[in-house]
């Protein structure tokens, strides 16, 4: 189901965008839907890189090691 939304943009920008869409045998609505779909599904590459970096650092931890009560309370 398609829903209507209202956007505001500079008039000259809208004119140029419409001209570009017509030149590629499309419409501004079609091009906006394509852009919106890509925007909504794009991955945050920087966040993914940070996650992988942290996971790489954590991979060096020894999860099988147990600490004594005294070790856990050491400062």
75 residues of the chain, pLDDT tens digit each: 889 999 999 999 999 999 999 999 999 999 999 999 988 888 888 888 888 888 888 877 767 778 888 888 887
- CA gap 25, 13 in Å, rounded: 18
pLDDT confidence of residue 42: 82
The answer to whether 31 touches 19, Cβ cutoff 8 Å, is no
- Residue 48 belongs to a domain: yes
- CA gap 26, 32 in Å, rounded: 10
Rounded to the nearest 10 degrees, the angle between the axes of helix 28-41 and helix 11-23 is: 100
Domain of 52, in residue numbers: 11-60
pLDDT confidence of residue 25: 97
Total number of domains constituting the chain? 1
- Residue 25 belongs to a domain: yes
pLDDT confidence of residue 38: 85
- CA gap 29, 4 in Å, rounded: 10
Global confidence as pTM:
0.57
């Amino acid at each position: 189901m398609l829903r209507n939304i209202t956007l505001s943009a500079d008039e000259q920008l809208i004119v140029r965008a419409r001209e570009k869409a017509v030149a590629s045998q499309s419409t501004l609505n079609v091009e906006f839907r394509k852009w919106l779909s890509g925007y909504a599904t794009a991955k945050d590459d920087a966040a993914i890189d940070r996650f992988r970096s942290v996971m790489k650092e954590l991979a060096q931890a020894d999860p099988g090691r147990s600490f004594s009560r005294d070790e856990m309370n050491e400062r």
